[in-house]
Amino acid sequence: MKGVIYVRVPRNTEDTMRMTLKAHHPFSLYSTVKSHGWWQLAPFSFEETPPVLSYTLQLVSGRAVRLSISETTDGVRVETEDSMTLEEKKGVKETLTWMLGLDLDFSSFYTLAHNEPKLARMEEKAQGRVLRSPTLFEDAIKTILTTNTLWAATIRMNENLIQQFGKPLEEDTSRRAFPTPKRLSETSEAILREKTRLGYRAPYVLKLAESVTSGEIDLESFKYSNLPTEQLRKRLLGIKGVGDYAAANLLIILGRYDYLPVDSWALKVVSHEWHDGVQIGRKEVQDAFEKWGDWKGLAYWFWDWSYYRKNEKDHDLEE
């Protein structure tokens, strides 16, 4: 018929992507997002009322999409205005299950926490999940950016990295995905220092990107590794720029709670909690949570700190 154009639409493509994902009960999007400061780091953004988490994700196909995640009765609803193939949709489902820890079960820990006033409300608040990035590479880079600096500087360095090297949305080039290892491996230390102001971290970021791209290190295999935590920790410590604090931080993100991320903040809050504010060392922090065994990292992470409630503000993260 004249004036009519017939377009064949692939069967595995939808005009927009909307899906719901179930979470292991109890679940709270707000508690997961607020588990640590990652929500303040691009490409995350978060609206608190009602809770909506947004994230710019680079798909395996290479293009970037903006995901909007809200809570439902059984889990989360994910939406994007972009069309998406079934393969891409499957990838998004797997990615968000990891990022939000939708399949995690904390019932064993809750049983222990009920007997500790400082943790007794964790189940009620559905706490325990730690917000993750889609890749351990992104979490590792962001963790390196937290060492020996102010949180405001971490936010700035992360933003610079994304704006310089991240894949932009087609409809809004101001929003970009986190750079892939390959993209970062194609730059130089000099450019990293100049364009992103990473300082001494620049060679660490570049080396990690090169190692992941070349296959020298398979960071993503750490997510579901059967290695004992001590061996996994040794592998993390083998990454340049990752010390004891950063390794412990990444282990908690991986769901391994055997180690404590002891930084200046940990020393401060433990000192005020149990030592009247006097100067302490790493041993005192370790001793405070030793009784929690394999859960010590999680107990520390969600402890209701008296000092924090009195002095709620951004704090330095130092290795």
CATH of the domain at 233: 1.10.340.30
Considering the domain architecture, whether residues 113 and 140 belong to the same structural domain is answered as no
Q: List the beta bridge partners of residue 54.
A: 45, 68
Closest CA to 250 of 34, 1, 36: 36
Question: What's the pLDDT at 306?
Answer: 86
Domain end: 253, 286, 301, which one?
A: 253
DSSP-based three-state secondary structure for 22: strand
315 domain-assigned: no
Token readout for 21 is 């994902």
Closest CA to 232 of 211, 218, 214, 215: 218
Q: How far apart are CA 56 and CA 34, in angstroms?
A: 18
For residue range 270-300, list pLDDT tens digits in order: 999 999 999 999 999 999 999 999 999 999 9
74 domain-assigned: yes
6 domain-assigned: no
Question: What's the pLDDT at 57?
Answer: 98
Considering the domain architecture, whether residues 42 and 145 belong to the same structural domain is answered as no
* Structural domain total, the chain: 3
- Listed as own residue / partner, the contacts of 82-85 with beta carbons closer than 8 Å and 24 or more positions apart are 82/16, 82/17, 83/13, 83/14, 83/15, 83/16, 83/17, 84/13, 84/14, 84/16, 84/17, 84/59, 85/10, 85/12, 85/13, 85/61
Is residue 6 over pLDDT 60?
Answer: no
Closest CA to 160 of 41, 57, 55, 44: 41
CB 29 within 8 A of CB 76: yes
Listed in sequence order, the residues at least 6 apart from 72 whose beta carbon sits closer than 8 Å to its beta carbon are 20
Q: List the beta bridge partners of residue 45.
A: 54
93 domain-assigned: yes
Token readout for 91 is 């990838």
Residue type, 152: A
Containing structural domain, residue 92: 13-125
Considering the domain architecture, whether residues 17 and 51 belong to the same structural domain is answered as yes
Considering the domain architecture, whether residues 245 and 274 belong to the same structural domain is answered as no
For residue range 208-259, list pLDDT tens digits in order: 999 999 999 999 999 999 999 999 999 999 999 999 999 999 999 999 999 9
Considering the domain architecture, whether residues 21 and 79 belong to the same structural domain is answered as yes
Considering the domain architecture, whether residues 169 and 95 belong to the same structural domain is answered as no
Domain end: 91, 125, 159, which one?
A: 125
The CATH number of whichever domain residue 60 belongs to comes to 3.30.310.20
Q: Confidence band (pLDDT; 50, 70, 90) for 91?
A: very high
- State pTM to two decimals: 0.92
For residue range 169-183, list pLDDT tens digits in order: 999 999 999 999 999
For residue range 181-218, list pLDDT tens digits in order: 999 999 999 999 999 999 999 999 999 999 999 999 99
